[in-house]
Amino acid sequence: MPYADQRVATTLVVAAVIRDETGRILLARRLAGAHMGGLWEFPGGKVHAGESPAAGLERELAEELALEARVGAPLTFAVHEEPGLRVLLLFYDAAIGGSDPKPLEGQEIAWVAPEDLRSYATPPADAELVELLIRGRTG
């Protein structure tokens, strides 16, 4: 491990794979000033202390995209490390009901066919999931 500094706390982050009725997947673009700004990601965010991963994901989707989500099964996970940062990222299947996503933080969103996912620059931690989705090995 290149950054195996045990003094760095691990941040738990959750993200959703949300599909529309045609199988396209929802991506959100990180704001320009954010860490890894401009990259496309599966929507989600940090889990708060005392919060379950599923509850954290439901909260994040409501706060960022005004979505009521039903969090399903975990799909995979990833660990991202860089100096001073360690993130454990849990990816879940999720369904939304009723309303379309509304980007409440000014971010762009896109519905992307699985075979087109490589056209969207994503954070390194998302790479394995992108490949699984392209190969149809999830959901």
User: What digits encode the pLDDT tens for the residues 67-109?
Assistant: 999 999 999 999 999 888 899 999 999 999 878 999 998 899 9
Which residue type does 112 have? V
pLDDT of residue 86: 93
pLDDT of residue 1: 47
Q: CA distances (Å), 107 to each of 32, 81, 127, in order?
A: 9, 25, 21
> Is pLDDT larger for residue 79 or for residue 2?
79
Which residues 6+ apart lie within 8 Å of 70 measured at CB?
A: 94, 95, 96, 97
pLDDT of residue 137: 74
pLDDT of residue 48: 97
Average pLDDT over residues 109-119: 97
Q: Is 52 helix (H, G, I), strand (E, B) or coil?
A: coil
Among the listed residues 45, 23, 30, the one whose alpha carbon sits nearest the alpha carbon of residue 95: 23
Query: What global pTM score does this model have?
Result: 0.89
pLDDT of residue 11: 93
Radius of gyration of the chain (CA): 15
For residues 50 and 61, give the distance between their C-alpha atoms in angstroms, rounded to a whole number.
18
Q: What is the pLDDT of residues 11-66, one digit of tens each?
A: 999 999 999 999 999 999 998 877 777 899 999 999 999 999 999 999 999 999 99
pLDDT of residue 83: 86
pLDDT of residue 35: 74
- Beta-carbon neighbour count of residue 85 at 10 Å? 14
C-alpha dihedral, 39 to 42 to 44 to 46, nearest 10°: -60
pLDDT of residue 6: 67
Average pLDDT over residues 110-136: 95
